[in-house]
Amino acid sequence: MIYDHRTYTCKPGTIKKHMKLYEDFGWEPQSRHLGQPVVYGATETGDVNSYVHIWIYKDATDRAAKRAAMAADPDWQVFLKKSAEAGNLVSQVNKILVPASFFEPPTQPE
């Protein structure tokens, strides 16, 4: 099992607009392909212009297949176009995490 931990940073003052854009156009196609994230939230303290989401996959092959299907989805392409036009994002940091040997994840991927 792997976790795809993603942190996105928005231009100051645009995070609420970006989250609304995602809610309206990105959430449905992304969750349709990737399932429900473990976490999806805006940063409350620290870099308040950022948000984090964490997706769980069986393995790298499962991740690649799901992300390829999402990338090919016309609805996801609409969101990407609208996001690029809005220009709210300034950075993205992705990390692939594996659970520690003693950790029992609360949910298993489908």
In the chain, where are the structural domains located? 2-97
Burial environment of residue 31 by CB neighbours within 10 A (0 to 12, 13 to 18, 19 or more): middle
**Which tens digits make up the pLDDT trace of 38-59?**
999 999 998 899 999 999 999 9
Give per-residue pLDDT as tens, 67-81: 999 999 999 999 999
User: What token pair was written down for 12?
Assistant: 């100051």
In CATH, the number for domain 2-97 is: 3.30.70.100
- Give the burial class of 58: count Cβ atoms within 10 A of its Cβ; 0-12 exposed, 13-18 middle, 19 or more buried: middle
Of the chain, the percentage scoring pLDDT greater than 70 comes to 95
User: SS3 of 74, please?
Assistant: helix
Gyration radius of the chain's alpha carbons: 14
